[in-house]
Structure 1
């Protein structure tokens, strides 16, 4: 801003000096040689302090030779204008800098991630899915066979199903409440990995939950409106209070066959199980860092974990 003002003043002064040069030429010739020698040095120094002096140096030299009086008058004008103008601008700039420094907010840690929707919902129970009477009085192995066969018969619907021991599901469920969001890297052949964003929802009445998956890139763009490519449902309705650890939790997963193959859907189910079901310090650290929005979370660390798994 100061440079632009200096350049403007200097250029404007030169134009006015040149326009009056012919009219004032006679007056300039009446000055004595001794006065010229002493004052020239001071006048030149005043102009040379201007950062754009070099641009106009040749014009100044010619003007000085043609009209010395007009040249000196403009130098005096520049001397009288320069200091107050510069001081005023300097003060304004300093005020702006001070104001900016005092108005800038304090840098804070990145906030924890927020759920895009309420994760406590009224979800389906097992009897909304199938006739629970078919499973009454059956042991864990029999329940697993009936459940898996029931979904195999749904040939028009891409689905993965399994039975999970309650003692494993208990840790899985508790972690899903503590860390309701995560990302899973899906191998895509030569293309590397595609991350899937996971968000859990939990039943308000029983310990059932559903994991909703969508491509991370879609979630980043559309948030809660991102299209779902897969859901994984867990039903704990068959847990026996007097024998909970030997009870069975039923799982089924629906997926978009246009986006996922059966093998890829199974891979995601297993990844989710491993990260949430197992007692692994490294896995839990990643879950914690991601949900807290911590700067130390790195997607490459999740990939490194998955590459060591046999799924």
Structure 2
């Protein structure tokens, strides 16, 4: 725990301080906490809700399930046990810290995060994803 955690949420303060982006936004977070405690609490609650939402509830999750089903139907099994099985977006990406960022800034953060990992990743603009999704629905094989 540090001095940034208030009496109203020292555990939350410690959790926020552990975030790699905390130093960058410390002043804004503290200002919001002092000037509008209700808004601060509301944002914390939204953050908790994001953590509870599985990726499978998104259209991307539906797309992944569709791809896995088609792969299984063809008799091929993915190398892993699935793409996302139970992971939430917020378990790998701090949604709250990037919600006010531009698409380009989010793309750069995403690329930097995965650059150090031994994995395949992509940043797909919404319009392209919508096109891929509609084609997958109309031409499933």
The bucket for the TM-score relative to the shorter chain is 0.3 to 0.5
What TM-score, normalized by structure 2, do the two folds share? 0.36
What TM-score, normalized by structure 1, do the two folds share? 0.18
Structure with greater helix percent? 2
Structure with greater strand percent? 1
